[in-house]
Structure 1
Amino acid sequence: MATQTQLLQAIANNQGNRGRSSFGEFMRTKPPTFATAEEPMDAEDWLRIIEKKLTLVRVREADKVIFAANQLEGPAGDWWDTYKEAREEDAVEPNWEEFTTAFRDNFVPAAVMRMKNNEFRRLQQGNTTVQEYLNRFTQLARYATRDLADEEEKIDKFIEGLNDELRGPMIGQDHDSFQSLINKVVRLENDRKVVEHNRKRRLAMNRSPQTAPQRPKGTTSSAWRPTVVTTSRPAASSNFHRPVTIQNRAPAPNQAATGSQSIEE
């Protein structure tokens, strides 16, 4: 690090004398530092920003790697130190092309880029809101630049991933721009939410209220039981104590004849 600092100072002094950009001018552009990235495109973004700032202050090709490497910190700085030590001793200093290639191979691997591209192609709204779907769409679209050649293809891909109730109305419309499409979808989603809210509210108002019996104050839930009101009804009459009346009836003629005949016999 001490050697690199001395080299940067020497470059700044020499370039200042020749009217060229100095390291100080480069640092006044506030170039971002880089340590690690959760998403591969974060590393790609850092590299592109650094390239723009190097071009802005017209840094010489021989100095680009030194200026950019100075902005590597933490794991990224350790990676660059290891990379240089692994090179042959008699090898010349790495140029900008070698630096960008090695940086992308390590922090923007092609396998991860393909994985992100495939994820973008399978992207669907699902249970998310339109805004959440848009955020994920925008994030993954950076890995699928070949699939989105123009804004029309971007519009078609976004509509394709919408849920059925939102995709149908959007297919039959003309969209001036991608932002115009987003505005329409967001309004449609909000309108559907309002309609659903009003429907549930009407259903709740139409239901008959059901109130639970109030528990007297000072009583516990285990000791208190709601009062049950019963309707008194007259007891059913019982035949157990009813007097029995025996009536003597005259025997039927046939029975009398039969009886007298039996006696005679």
Structure 2
Amino acid sequence: MAGRNDHVIADALQALAQAIRNPNRGEVGGAVEYQVHYLGTPHQGLDRFQRNNPPSFSGGYNPDGAQNWIREIEKNFQVMACPEGQKVAFGTYTLVEEVEYWWENTRQCLEAEGQDVTWDVFNRVFLEKYFPEDVRNKK
């Protein structure tokens, strides 16, 4: 299992190196997108998101946990006035274990289909997987 995250670590290091080289761009490619502080202008970033102590979600059969995770992540987005373009990157950054691998595969499939992967799209596919409609209807 140790080698399974090597690509994520490599992507994060590459993104960090690019951010250091280009601090005024505000945007970097790779696994995690964030903006940096430049010339005293506060830009929302991953560090600010993490200071709000967002919960993680590990997957499995846990419909209530999935719904609660979404609710808490969205509260963090609201508090930090997170731009739409960063919600997927920040929210999915907190996914761990099984759900992290599920999302990586699902994201690739959505992009291959030509879909724009917005927070609403993520929300829909996430809830379909981890809080299925039949379970929602029973509640």
Query: Is TM-score (shorter-chain normalized) higher than 0.5?
Result: yes
Tell me, in whole angstroms, the C-alpha distance in 2 between the residues paired with 1:103 and 1:73: 14
Kindly tell me the number of residue pairs found equivalent between the two proteins: 114
Tell me, in whole angstroms, the C-alpha distance in 1 between the residues paired with 2:77 and 2:69: 12
Aligned 1:89-168 pairs, distance under 5 A: 89=112, 91=114, 93-114=116-137, 117=138, 143=139
Q: Unaligned regions of 5+ residues in structure 2, if any?
A: 1-7, 16-28
Residues 84 and 118 in structure 2, CA contact (< 8 A), matched pair in contact too = yes
TM value normalised by structure 1: 0.39
Amino acid at match of 2:124: T
Residue of 35, 49, 61 corresponding to 2:72: 49
Per-residue deviation, 1:37? 4.4
Aligned 1:21-60 pairs, distance under 5 A: 21-60=44-83
TM value normalised by structure 2: 0.71
Q: 1:87 matched to which residue of 2?
A: 110
Deviation readout 1:50-103 (Å, 9 max, x if unpaired) = 000011111110000000111111111011011022234372540111011111
Q: Matched residue of 1:30: which SS?
A: coil
Tell me, in whole angstroms, the C-alpha distance in 2 between the residues paired with 1:54 and 1:108: 21
Larger Rg: 1
Residues 34 and 44 in structure 2, CA contact (< 8 A), matched pair in contact too = no
Amino acid at match of 1:112: V
Deviation readout 1:218-249 (Å, 9 max, x if unpaired) = xxxxxxxxxxxxxxxxxxxxxxxxxxxxxxxx
Residues 20 and 58 in structure 1, CA contact (< 8 A), matched pair in contact too = no
Q: 1:258 matched to which residue of 2?
A: none
After superposition, the CA RMSD in angstroms is 2.2
Tell me, in whole angstroms, the C-alpha distance in 2 between the residues paired with 1:90 and 1:101: 16
Deviation readout 1:103-157 (Å, 9 max, x if unpaired) = 101000011233xx3xxxxxxxxxxxxxxxxxxxxxxxxx2xxxxxxxxxxxxxx
What is the identity percentage for the equivalent residue pairs of Structure 1 and Structure 2? 23
Whether 1:3 aligns to 2:11 is yes
Per-residue deviation, 1:34? 0.5
Tell me, in whole angstroms, the C-alpha distance in 2 between the residues paired with 1:97 and 1:108: 15
Q: Matched residue of 1:87: which SS?
A: helix
Q: 1:29 to 1:79 in 2, by over 3 A?
A: same
Q: 1:176 matched to which residue of 2?
A: none
Amino acid at match of 1:3: D
